[in-house]
Amino acid sequence: MLPPGTPFAMSTPENHSTAELVRTLSEQSSRLAQMEIELAKAELTEKGKKIGIGLGAFGAAGVVALYMGGALVATLILVLSEFLDGWLAALIVTVVLGAITAVLALTGKKSVDAGSPPLPERAIETTKQDVEVAKERAREGRA
């Protein structure tokens, strides 16, 4: 047995009682779980930011479409109606505004897709790896 106050890391597991090993395993497992939770939080924050940017782009697309659809439509139709029939001028303006709106909407969708699904995938994967390592070490300890 080691004298009180001796760091656990400086000794070999053979020198410790089962109770000490279980306590150490519990502490290490708890610390590992806390680290995985922190990783999950960081990953969710990153994905949340990407989704927020995408939603902002969707909002911008809607605002731009609304203002452009209200302010520029009348102006453009009047300008084009000097050279074309009124209905044709209105159709051309509508198609152009639709194309702009589609580009903004696709940009928003791309950003939302980059942040989806909002799951901490790296944290889940490393947790699975940690569990496998713990299982392997537990099997080695029984052998």
The answer as to whether 43 is a domain residue is yes
pTM score, two decimals? 0.42
Residues in the chain: 143
The answer as to whether 95 is a domain residue is yes
Per-residue confidence (pLDDT) for residue 103, from 0 to 100: 95
The answer as to whether 1 is a domain residue is no
The answer as to whether 70 is a domain residue is yes
Q: What percent of the chain has pLDDT over 70?
A: 87
Number of domains in the chain: 1
Cβ burial of 32 (10 Å; 0-12, 13-18, 19+) is middle
Range of the domain at 60: 14-142
**Cα angle, residue 50 at apex, residues 49 and 56 outer, rounded to 5°:** 90
85-116 per-position pLDDT tens digit: 998 988 988 898 899 999 999 999 998 888 77
Q: Pick the closest to residue 40 from 115, 119, 114, 116 (CA basis).
A: 119
The answer as to whether 66 is a domain residue is yes
Contact yes or no for 97/75 (Cβ under 8 A): no
15 secondary structure, DSSP code: G
Contact yes or no for 54/109 (Cβ under 8 A): yes
In 3-state terms, the chain is what percent helix, strand and coil (to 5)? Answer: 85, 0, 15
User: 69 to each of 79, 101, 118, how far by Cα in Å?
Assistant: 15, 10, 34
CA distance 143 to 139: 6
Per-residue confidence (pLDDT) for residue 1, from 0 to 100: 46
Q: What value does the mean pLDDT of the chain take? A: 83
**Residue 48 predicted with pLDDT over 50:** yes
**Residue 9 predicted with pLDDT over 70:** no
Contact yes or no for 114/50 (Cβ under 8 A): yes
The answer as to whether 3 is a domain residue is no
Model confidence band, residue 11 (pLDDT cutoffs 50, 70, 90):
low
The answer as to whether 9 is a domain residue is no
Per-residue confidence (pLDDT) for residue 14, from 0 to 100: 65
110, two tokens: 């791309």
The answer as to whether 133 is a domain residue is yes
